Amino acid sequence: MRWRGAGMSRTTTAARLHEHGSPLRVEEVALPEPGDGEVVVDLAFAGVNPVDRYTAAGQVASDGPLPRTLGGEASGRLDDGTGVLVNGGGLGTQRDGVWAQRAVVPREAVIALPQGVDLPTASAVGVAGLTAWNCVVREGEVAAGDRVLVLGAAGGVGLPIVGLAAARGATVWGQTGSPHKAQAIRDAGAADVIVTDADGLAAAAADLRPSVVIDPLGGPFTPAALALIQPRGRYVVFGTSAGREVTLNLQAVYRSHLRVLGYSGMVLSAEERAEQLRETLRAIAEGRLRIPVDRTLPLAKVAEALDLLAARALTGKVLLDLS
């Protein structure tokens, strides 16, 4: 993509949502002039996340403008060459997002990268990195001596959670339903991996006696894992891919003095998001947090990226190369 010349429309190639439930169109679109509080970013890589699928289907931000460019997290460079992470500010939901070669974005959604964080990694920090940091550090308060059970541990967020919890000195077990994903969980730092569905979870994880459970699944996994957690333990939920309705034994919760905690980046203020993104970037730069990437696809294959997510065929993140 290049500016088309003085006095002419400036354009970029972007993945656009025209109708909920219909395939995205990768097409050339006009790039608006930046307004007050906005900057132009030359984008390099973008993260693809389950919320993007839900947005395309109209299950999230169904009132957003159409057509619009999707994508809520990316990395790139400002005109002066500064490497940046781009995340927040309603990108991809209430305004054009960042699945494009260039984008006009709110200045508050741009965070300069510290030395030691490359552009591919930075493009996954806004969702996977930030969620891992908050679930492990802020909500789970994981520390040396904790015993942590991570459900859905082979996912784009699960692997960073495993690695970060292990880096903080905890003993980490990861759960997956796919035997071929077990090695990736071990490579991330898990002391053990249990391959099981919800029905087998209680028996498979009984020896761990977890003090912390981190759960992106919900459904039948939640009561099974909650029954394992030890007194004064913390249970952190950040997703419901296995079901949003659960039945809990509240007596067991209060008698064991358990804390059930939820995390969602959707409720963060701009100031909270910026502060926590900087914390997360520092952890990456210092080697305390890693975000494994399964594969990187060109922007033209955005539909394939979304299909891979839907099929749960990934071990780690999938990125889009926007060049």
Domain with residue 99: its CATH number is: 3.90.180.10
Round to whole Å and give the CA distance between 291 and 73: 14
Instruction: Match 């806004």 to its residue by tokens.
Output: 126
Same domain, 303 and 218: no
pLDDT at residue 24, rounded to an integer: 98
pLDDT band for position 16 (50/70/90)? very high
Contact assessment for residue 13 and residue 28, using Cβ atoms and an 8 Å cutoff: yes
Cα 10 off chain centre by: 31
Instruction: Supply the range of the domain harboring residue 105.
Output: 11-124+291-321
Amino acid at 80: D
User: Domain boundary at 247, 265, 283, which?
Assistant: 265
Q: Is 56:80 a contact under the CB 8 Å cutoff?
A: no
Number of domains in the chain: 2
Q: pLDDT for 124-173, tens place per residue? A: 999 999 999 999 999 999 999 999 999 999 999 999 999 999 999 999 99
pLDDT in tens, 277-321: 999 999 999 999 999 999 999 999 999 999 999 999 999 999 999
